[in-house]
Amino acid sequence: MASLVMDDGARAIRSDIEVQSPDSTEVWREGDDGHISGEAIKILFVIKGKAGIFMADSWGAEEGEDLTLLRCPPGGSTFEIDANAYRYWYPR
């Protein structure tokens, strides 16, 4: 397991990256040999509003890119997945 952690000045808010997704499929990449690299995860944006804090991230690899929109409710301490998509591209 790995975690992304955001400090908003008042608290640390985390997003855990599990070894398996809720449907029991593996989330590690074919070519990463079971290791997660911080360089592979990009934070696309963070927005704070009345509904909470939203953060979008991209996790790319040689075969595709996982895009996730996370939301932390007001006063919360963890991000939850609000939306998720995967974009596949043919390895070059």
Residue-wise pLDDT for 71-85, tens only, equals 999 999 999 999 999
The segment with the largest mean pLDDT, out of 6-10, 36-40, 61-65, 86-90, is 6-10
pLDDT at 74: 94
What pTM does this model have? Answer: 0.77
| pLDDT one-digit tens code per residue, 5-38 | 999 888 999 998 765 555 555 555 666 666 677 7
Determine how β-strand 12-17 pairs with β-strand 41-49. Answer: unpaired
Report whether pLDDT(39) > 60. yes
Integer Cα distance of 76 and 87 in angstroms: 30
